[in-house]
Amino acid sequence: MCTSSAILLPATGAGKFDVLAAIAINDESTKMIVTIDDVAYGTKEDPLVICRDELENKFVSGGEDIDWYRFGSKKMFEIELAQGEHTMKVELVSAGCNFDGIVFESEPEDFNLTVPGKIEGEHYDSGYGKYLWKDGKTNGNYKQYRLDKGVAISRSTHNGGDTSSPGYENGDEIIHLGNSQSGNYLTYTFDCQIAGNYTFSTCVSTVGTHKYYITIDDVDYGSKDKPFEVNTQEDNKWQVYKEFEMPDVQIPLTEGKHKMVYHLVTGSCNIDYFRLFTDDVTGIEDIVVDAEDEGLWYTIDGIAHDKPVKGTVNIHNGKRIFVK
Ligand SMILES: [Ca+2]
């Protein structure tokens, strides 16, 4: 079976793009030919092949959790495009799929997420299937914060003691995610700099109860049916943020890249940040600091420093060290 369509492609800017198939595949694979500005990628005899098992950032859309509705994306090729309009034609050589479209992804914004430390909610990964934020394109008062406009990012200020204004009750300014809805999710790719068992916490303001679970490297901590529940209790207003530790959960992390997905089972929250931290360090000791040492130093709040911070406990190369 064959289908084809011609699409005018307004490039948002010149540059290099990864060209992805965005698709749900019921058979083992789908085959297609993509022609951009009269250059064909794939032929009838040797088409582009997208295997169901190779789809990334999968999500279920359209009802049942079956292959017909398990959408995901797969990079097919790279292309360099000049500014302006381009013409694209897509020809599906085999059926057995729900075809969402062709996605052009440019180099993502890099927020250099590292743990131990904070992961700001607004530093989510952009790209097909990496987040769902219902009505996110239209909501949020701080769209200029980043290039991706699909999630409701807001900036709130304390406004000189006006407790009716949104933001931290005791702070000046906060950049946060708002307009949350049940079923939303976000992905964060981060670099773990100290291997160990980690504790997770979420910093939110809630009106009512916020329910969530997370997935790290395809392992669920909590679930849709058994989520973690947090509630700012008597405060029950958008101005008060609190950090809640995930109880009784240790997350083993190796050094290097990891992927976390934060699932909102129930919205009812504004999100400031998440934190991943570890106590897997040795005892406190006095040390002589080697000026040539280039490793990072972490204070207990998870903030990285390129030099030790005096008068407090630092975490350095996996050791807990009090620096006089
Ligand atoms: Ca924030």
- CA 119 / ligand 1 centre spacing (Å): 8
Look up residue 292 and give its DSSP letter: T
Q: Are residues 136 and 250 in the same domain?
A: yes
Mean pLDDT of 287-294: 53
At which residue do the structure tokens 């609190």 appear? 242
- CA 216 / ligand 1 centre spacing (Å): 20
Mean pLDDT of 200-217: 95
Residue at which a domain ends, from 105, 135, 166: 105
- CA 245 / ligand 1 centre spacing (Å): 17
- CA 174 / ligand 1 centre spacing (Å): 6
Q: Is it the case that residue 8 has pLDDT exceeding 90? A: no
**Predicted confidence (pLDDT) per residue in 33-52, tens digit:** 999 999 999 999 999 999 99
Confidence grade of residue 26 (pLDDT, cut at 50, 70, 90)? very high
Distance CA(255)–CA(246), nearest Å, equals 22
- CA 123 / ligand 1 centre spacing (Å): 8
**Predicted confidence (pLDDT) per residue in 158-195, tens digit:** 654 555 545 555 556 789 999 999 999 999 999 999 99
Q: Are residues 169 and 78 in the same domain?
A: no
pLDDT at 19: 95
Query: Can you spell out the DSSP letters for 159-184?
Result: TTT-TTSSS-SSSSEEEEE-S--TT-
**Predicted confidence (pLDDT) per residue in 221-230, tens digit:** 999 999 999 9
Which helix (H) or strand (E) segment holds residue 118: the answer is strand 117-120
- CA 93 / ligand 1 centre spacing (Å): 46
Q: Are residues 53 and 17 in the same domain?
A: yes
Q: Which domain holds residue 310?
A: 281-324
- CA 107 / ligand 1 centre spacing (Å): 23
Mean pLDDT of 92-113: 90
- CA 170 / ligand 1 centre spacing (Å): 15
- CA 252 / ligand 1 centre spacing (Å): 25
Amino acid code (one letter) for 203: C
Q: Are residues 133 and 273 in the same domain?
A: yes
- CA 83 / ligand 1 centre spacing (Å): 34
Report how many domains make up the chain: 3
Please tell me the pTM assigned to this model. Answer: 0.79
Distance CA(3)–CA(237), nearest Å, equals 52
Radius of gyration of the chain (CA): 23
Q: Are residues 288 and 257 in the same domain?
A: no
Q: Are residues 8 and 87 in the same domain?
A: yes
Q: Is it the case that residue 108 has pLDDT exceeding 50? A: yes
Q: Are residues 125 and 223 in the same domain?
A: yes
CATH code, domain with 79? 2.60.120.260
- CA 148 / ligand 1 centre spacing (Å): 16
pLDDT at 175: 92
Residue at which a domain ends, from 52, 71, 105: 105
- CA 242 / ligand 1 centre spacing (Å): 12
Look up residue 208 and give its DSSP letter: S
Structural contact between residues 280 and 212, judged by C-beta atoms closer than 8 angstroms: no
Q: Are residues 96 and 76 in the same domain?
A: yes
- CA 243 / ligand 1 centre spacing (Å): 12
Q: Are residues 264 and 137 in the same domain?
A: yes
Structural contact between residues 142 and 159, judged by C-beta atoms closer than 8 angstroms: no
- CA 271 / ligand 1 centre spacing (Å): 7
Helices (H) and strands (E) in the chain, counts: 0, 26
Q: Are residues 93 and 126 in the same domain?
A: no
| Higher per-residue pLDDT: 311 or 128 | 128
Residue at which a domain ends, from 72, 105, 138: 105
Mean pLDDT of 209-218: 96
Q: Are residues 136 and 274 in the same domain?
A: yes
Distance CA(114)–CA(93), nearest Å, equals 43
- CA 111 / ligand 1 centre spacing (Å): 12
Q: Are residues 32 and 82 in the same domain?
A: yes
- CA 306 / ligand 1 centre spacing (Å): 23
- CA 272 / ligand 1 centre spacing (Å): 4
